Structure 1
Amino acid sequence: MRAVVYTESGDSSVLELVEREVAEPGPGEVRVRIVRAGVNPTDWKFRAGGMGELAFPEIVPGQDGAGEVVAVGPDVDSLAVGDRVWTMLAQHQRPGGTAQEQVVIPADRVTVLPEGASYDVGASLGVPAVTAHRALTTSEDGPDRLAPGALEGSTVLVAGGAGAVGNAAIQLARWAGATVVTTVSSDEKAALATAAGAHHVVNYREGDLVEQVRAIAPDGVDLVVEVAPAQNLRTDLRLIRPRGTIAIYANNGGDEITLSVRETFSTNARFQWVLLYTVGQAALRAAAEDITAALADGAFGVGEEHGLPLHHLPLEETAAAHAAVEDGAVGKVLIDVAEA
């Protein structure tokens, strides 16, 4: 079996294509033949040592993937051999991720793909879509699950609507009935955010951002999905309505935030930090179910027509795939592991 591994931290050159034995699933586990693997910023950050020392002597990167169940371990009744599935957190607290031809993974991190959903979309879910779901479901006055109508009457502001998480947040919020506003930095990214389903797209480099968003939502927005708090949080506080939520899932643009206590008090806002590795199994399962329902409804997709261009590379070019994500590729980078 072909697998991409690394045994030390470093740049993408530490990734190596090797042959490894196929593992058998234990209790509560399944083995999935990976067709597509998704690459996320978290993958290169782990590989580069940004999350600390390596947890295992040898690691196969990749949290996200899609493929077919080929073996089922004891005590698994939710999945069967032949099921087409998508994965999340495949590498979390485990040495083997999705950048290999077959991966053994806990069954509770594997979800059946709806009929007609492609492996491309399945491999693009995981980290981006589950992060977006969590950001959209933690508000004081909002829902804890997503479905059509769940966000009816709400206005959601998505920072960075052309990114993978931003794209997922736009699609899921639109499916749930929200009015979706997003910010972008160029006309090209505006076109992608519009394709994703955003009702209003604001180029933050042109004109007064607060003025433009307040013209759309005079009473403020109900929820902000935030990718760059160091740069944007002061602006978010001017846009959030009382008791609104600012959900922060990344640190693009800097690691430090300074807030005025008086200015922040007046908002009664909730700051929700979002990191998938510690959200808990209940939140992960709720996200998997709701995202799959959106897929089944035809409300979630990938590709240029859905605002998320796809970039395919073969398994032997996993290093180039990591480098592309690290360099800020617009869209979704996928690894073609096997034929569908």
Structure 2
Amino acid sequence: MKAAWYEAFGKPEEVLKVGEWKTPSPGHGEVKIRLQASGVNPSDTKKRAGANPALLDLGPVIPHSDGSGIIEEVGSGVPSSRVGERVWTWNAQYGRQEGTAAEFVCIPSQQAVWLPDNASFEAGAMMAIPAMTAHRAVFADGDVSGQNVLITGGSGRVGYYAIQWAKYFGANVIATASSNASIQECKKAGADLVVGHPSEEVNKEILDFTGGAKIDRVVEGDFGANLLPVLDVIKTSGVIASYSSMTDMNPSIPFVRMMFMDLTMRLVLVYAMPDEAKADAIEDITEFLSMDRLDNRVAESYTLDDIAKAHLSIENGGNNGSVIVNI
């Protein structure tokens, strides 16, 4: 089969190779998927750059955990009725060497989720890391109906889905954005108010909008950069659910202040989500895809031969939507 892989860490144009790779066969409990689209996420580019030094100990890596395609073959223990099923994948390259940047991938059957006929393969390739992360961040600490929810970086891949999840389930959604284009993206997703990044002035706008009520839950895309201004606007016993801290990867926290506010600080990683949380996210994703209720944005599409350009695009940032490699 045709695949992309790396056997050393480094820049995408220097280490990513495209060529022939042995076609996998499904083992017990697995399905073999003929891939149509592969989603590129920051975790994929970070791993390729060397964030996990032990990753290559077992050999070269075919990158990407998110993808979509059609089940072509099943292993023992999997119903043959799954052959021909359109599916999307989660955690395809987590704890494994072979991900979705290839013509085929074999993964455990439960990690291949039915993709409704009305949903595109490109949409399927963004359901795992972007949509599931957002679902976990929004709902991990209970119902958001009637709550004031602040979503920082609302035009980003995760933030955009977080706005949609929170709004569809009855929250008053406030999003932050840094440009006119990003503001429009947040409004398109359904945000009730869009403001600049957290600051004293922005907090005043937020509290004016809520009538003085503080924020119940924060979905945080840059924890270290935003924590202090967020503490001025979140209520006592509120929740900060963060999935990233890019500006400061090892931030310090004002522990005593946060303790006296009885805050919950939740760190979200889609790879480590509890099975129950994954099941809840998959149930909602399936329903919403079936009903065409999710806005799934493709920022850029590339061929497998141009996978290095796709990785570089993610590293350069500024994408309003997902970067997809069409297989």
Q: Same fold (TM over 0.5)?
A: yes
1:78–1:237 Cα change, 3 Å: farther
Work out whether residues 62 and 97 of structure 1, in 8 Å CA contact, stay in contact via their aligned partners in 2.
yes
Work out whether residues 36 and 69 of structure 2, in 8 Å CA contact, stay in contact via their aligned partners in 1.
yes
1:184 aligns with 2:173: no
1:323 aligns with 2:317: no
Count of equivalent residues: 323
**C-alpha displacement of 1:250:** 0.7
In structure 1, distance between residues paired with 2:272 and 2:322: 24
1:1-340 equivalence runs, <5 A: 1-12=1-12, 13-55=14-56, 56-77=58-79, 80-139=82-141, 142-143=142-143, 151-204=144-197, 208-217=201-210, 218-303=212-297, 309-330=298-319, 331-337=321-327
In structure 2, distance between residues paired with 1:176 and 1:34: 32
What is the SS of the residue equivalent to 1:173? helix
**C-alpha displacement of 1:80:** 0.4
**Unaligned 5+ residue runs, structure 1?**
144-150, 304-308
Calculate percent identity across the aligned residue pairs.
35
Work out whether residues 236 and 263 of structure 2, in 8 Å CA contact, stay in contact via their aligned partners in 1.
yes
In structure 2, distance between residues paired with 1:103 and 1:166: 29
Moved more, 109-118 or 293-302: 293-302
**Unaligned 5+ residue runs, structure 2?**
none
**C-alpha displacement of 1:252:** 1.5
What is the SS of the residue equivalent to 2:46? helix
In structure 2, distance between residues paired with 1:33 and 1:263: 52
Could you say what the CA RMSD is over the residues aligned between the two structures, in angstroms? 1.7
* One-letter amino acid of the counterpart of residue 104, structure 1: C
In structure 2, distance between residues paired with 1:102 and 1:257: 40
Work out whether residues 157 and 223 of structure 1, in 8 Å CA contact, stay in contact via their aligned partners in 2.
yes
What is the SS of the residue equivalent to 1:34? strand
In structure 1, distance between residues paired with 2:117 and 2:145: 28
In structure 2, distance between residues paired with 1:262 and 1:219: 23
Work out whether residues 199 and 229 of structure 2, in 8 Å CA contact, stay in contact via their aligned partners in 1.
no
* One-letter amino acid of the counterpart of residue 138, structure 1: A
What is the SS of the residue equivalent to 1:26? coil
**C-alpha displacement of 1:183:** 0.2
Work out whether residues 175 and 186 of structure 2, in 8 Å CA contact, stay in contact via their aligned partners in 1.
yes
Give the 4+ runs in structure 1 shifted more than 3 A.
none
In structure 1, distance between residues paired with 2:80 and 2:226: 42
What is the SS of the residue equivalent to 1:111? strand
Moved more, 235-244 or 60-69: 235-244
Q: Tell me which residue corresponds to 1:306.
A: none
**C-alpha displacement of 1:280:** 2.6
Cα displacement string for residues 228-279 of structure 1 (whole angstroms, at most 9, x for unaligned residues)? 1111011111121222110011112112323334421332110001112222
Cα displacement string for residues 138-189 of structure 1 (whole angstroms, at most 9, x for unaligned residues)? 22xx23xxxxxxx321121111011100011111112212111100111111
In structure 1, distance between residues paired with 2:217 and 2:199: 23
**C-alpha displacement of 1:79:** 6.4
**C-alpha displacement of 1:78:** 9.4
Work out whether residues 222 and 244 of structure 1, in 8 Å CA contact, stay in contact via their aligned partners in 2.
yes
**C-alpha displacement of 1:198:** 1.2
Higher helix fraction (1 or 2): 2
What is the SS of the residue equivalent to 1:54? helix
Work out whether residues 74 and 80 of structure 2, in 8 Å CA contact, stay in contact via their aligned partners in 1.
no
TM-score (norm 2): 0.94
In structure 2, distance between residues paired with 1:160 and 1:136: 14
Cα displacement string for residues 116-151 of structure 1 (whole angstroms, at most 9, x for unaligned residues)? 011111111111111111111222xx23xxxxxxx3
* One-letter amino acid of the counterpart of residue 209, structure 2: I
Cα displacement string for residues 43-76 of structure 1 (whole angstroms, at most 9, x for unaligned residues)? 0101111122224311100110111111111112
TM-score (norm 1): 0.91
